[in-house]
Amino acid sequence: MSERRPGPVPKNSGNGRNGRSARRSVWRRALPPEPDTAEQPRPESAAAAVAPGEQPSVVEAALYRDGVRVSTPATLAETYRELREHPAGMAWIGLARPTSDELLSLAAEFGLHPLAVEDAMEAHQRPKLERYGDTLFVVLRAARYLDAPEEVDFAELHVFVGPDFVITVRHGAAPDLSAVRRRMEDSPDLLKLGPEAVLYAILDAVVDGYAPVVAGVQNDIDEIETEVFRGDPEVSRRIYELSRETVEFQRATRPLVGMLHGLMAGFTKYETDEELQRYLRDVADHVTHTSERVDGFRQALTEILTVNATLVTQQQNAEMRALAEAGFEQNEEIKKISSWAAILFAPTLVGTIYGMNFREMPELHWALGYPFAIALMAIVCTTLYFIFKRKDWL
């Protein structure tokens, strides 16, 4: 492993995660306004000039001294060499899904702990802050709201902070660290505070990135409430999907509160700059606010799910009641039809018997035969009518 360069030890450990309120942070207000990215192109990536055989996962590497960029190395090897030549400088290396060889190279150069390097190689790590000697390892969960599918996309960011270096390992599209770098370079007074200031700027960017997510989730919940009372049959699935996103959001923001309070507890021990202390307290306030909003979202979705289940049950009961009423009415009609059929069957039966035209039949030559048959049919029909009427079939 290469010999470590002397450099100032970071005054405070950085720890961070995702969380944010709709307010603009003090850190953001201290930085100059971000230029319009549509007019100002993104700084050229160091990956554009990588050496043959080197993978283009180095998004950008730069060397700073007194808050000013003094060099933009094209490769990791060049970064190592220039930092050795300028021990008072600070290296800021940005990586996106790096290879294991690149991480091992960084570990050998900067003395990174093997456990931290192993975590950085794999995504799906929980947000955390760990200190290995004079190096901090921070895992953050960034998020962005996708308007088209109305979904929350989560990504991981791993940050190594040492005495004279900052290494970011990004697994996913968020956050946009190139914007953080540009704004820090436009504020050399903040950047010259060293790796600690860069860490706090990254924390602030991740926290501020939750503003559109909070707004998007709130809008989704408002839409779901409307759909629930409208009786949309697809709303249950949407509630379930949004509940899962909210749980993921909660896992990203809740640990941040403890992590940032842990950083604030170390202000005195690590002699953190007073300006950075104010920035971190503001970020912690935003994280607390965001965490409370996310907790409220989860509670609201639970209540909406309960209301939806109640409404669905009521609708099902109403449908069952309507079916029962329809069945009852149908049974009443069947009773009437059956009663009249039985009444009409009696004279039909008598008429059919005396209409068989046999030569030898009783009553055929009886003078009272016809009146007797008519009277018999009338008596049977009347008797059946009163029987069915008594049973409320007619």
Cis upstream peptide for 175 (omega within 30°): yes
The span from the CA of 361 to the CA of 34, in Å, is 116
Between β-strands 58-65 and 165-171, what pairing exists: parallel, antiparallel or unpaired?
unpaired
Question: How high is the pLDDT of residue 63?
Answer: 92
DSSP state of 132: E
The span from the CA of 207 to the CA of 25, in Å, is 9
Question: How high is the pLDDT of residue 271?
Answer: 67
Does the CA dihedral 48-50-51-54 come out positive or negative?
Answer: negative
pLDDT tens digits in sequence order for the chain, 394 residues long: 334 443 333 333 333 333 333 334 544 455 555 544 433 333 333 333 334 444 457 788 899 998 899 989 888 889 999 888 888 889 999 988 888 888 999 999 999 999 999 988 887 788 888 888 889 899 998 888 888 888 888 888 999 999 889 999 988 777 788 888 998 999 888 888 889 889 989 998 999 888 889 999 999 999 888 888 887 778 888 888 888 889 889 888 888 888 888 777 777 676 677 777 888 888 888 888 888 899 899 888 888 888 888 887 877 788 888 888 888 888 888 888 888 888 888 788 888 877 777 777 777 777 788 888 888 888 888 888 888 888 888 7
DSSP 25-65: PHHHHHSPPPP-TTTSPPPPPGGGGPPTT--TTEEEEEEEE
The span from the CA of 389 to the CA of 39, in Å, is 91
